Amino acid sequence: MARITLVDDDENIVTSVSLALESQGHAVKAYYDGASGLAALENDPPDLAILDVKMPRMDGMEVLRRLRRASDLPVIILTSKDDEIDELLGFNLGADDYMHKPFSQRLLIERVKAVLRRAGSPAGDEDEEDEVASRALKRGRLTLDPARHDCLWNGRPVKLTVTEFLLIQALAQRPGFVKSRDNLMDAAYDDQVYVDDRTIDSHIKRMRRKFREVDPEFDAIETLYGVGYRYRES
C-alpha cells in the first residue's frame, strides 16, 4: 500500500486519520507543524501528502507552494475554513484535492484512494482501453508518457501534478475537439470526488503557466468561453 505523510497540528485529527489510513494498510508518518512536514516531504518523499492549512511555523499553503517548486507529489489539503478563496488558492498552487473539516473518515479514505489511483501506473492486466491510455502520446511539440508520468514540450520536461497531467492528456488525445469542463472533470477525477468549474479553470491556468516557463509562446490550450477547452496541435 501507500506511504502517506500527514501534517496537521491537531493531535486528535492526526490520531484518527492515521488509524483510519493504517487500517487500509497504508504507512503513515505524522508531523505537527509545517516546517517539519516540509523538511520530511523534501528529504523522504512519500506517495501522498495530506496537509492542514492552519499550522504553526508554516501554514499548509506555504508548504504546498514550496513543495511545488520541484515536486509533483500528490497533495490533499485539509482545512477548517469554510472559504472558497482558500480552496481556489489551494488548487491554484497545485493541490490535487481539498476537504473541509469536519469530514468523515470514510470519505477521506475514498479521496485518498482516488488520488493514489490517478497517480499510479496502470496494471499490466488492465483492459485494452486502459492499455491504449497508458501508451506514450505525441501531438506536435507535446509528448506524454503516462506510464512514467513524463511530459515534454519541444523536448524539454514540464513538471505537472497528477491532475494537470490527466487534463492535458484528455485534451491532447483529440486535438481540435472541444472538451467541456464536465468532460475534463470526468477525465481527471473519480466519481467519488466533486469539483466545480472553477477548479478545472484553476488547474488549466496553472498548467499554462508551467508550459510558458518552458516556452513563453505556448498557446496550445485554447479557451472557448462558455464551452470549454481544446488542444491545438501546431
CATH of the domain at 150: 1.10.10.10
pLDDT digits (tens, 9 = 90+) for 33-55: 999 999 999 999 999 999 998 89
Considering only CA atoms, which of 95, 97, 93 is closest in space to residue 109? 97
Number of domains in the chain: 2
Report how far Cα 167 is from the mean position of its chain's Cα atoms.
Answer: 10
How far apart are alpha carbons 11 and 88 in whole angstroms?
27
The CA distance from 51 to 76, in Å, is 6
pLDDT of residue 93: 78
pLDDT band, residue 150 (cuts 50/70/90): confident
> Could you tell me the residue range of the domain that residue 33 belongs to?
3-119
Contact (CB, 8 A) for 162 and 206: no
> Does residue 196 carry a pLDDT above 70?
no
Q: Are 100 and 161 within one domain?
A: no
Chain centroid to Cα 126, Å, comes to 23
Q: What is the mean pLDDT of residues 126-150?
A: 70
Report pLDDT for 125. 38
Do residues 181 and 73 both lie within one domain? no
Please identify, among 64, 85, 119, the residue that sits at the C-terminal boundary of a domain.
Answer: 119
Which one has a higher pLDDT value, 198 or 166? Answer: 166
Residue 110 included in any domain: yes
Residues 101 and 22 in one domain: yes
Higher pLDDT, 197 or 92: 92
Is residue 42 in a domain? Answer: yes
Q: Domain check: are 11 and 113 in the same one?
A: yes
Shared-domain flag, residues 115 and 75: yes
pLDDT of amino acid 128 = 40
Domain boundary among 61, 93, 119: 119
The verdict on residue 126 lying in a domain is: no
Check whether the bond before 102 is cis (ω within 30° of 0): yes
Specify whether 224 is located in the same domain as 148.
Answer: yes
Please, what is the average pLDDT of the chain? Answer: 83
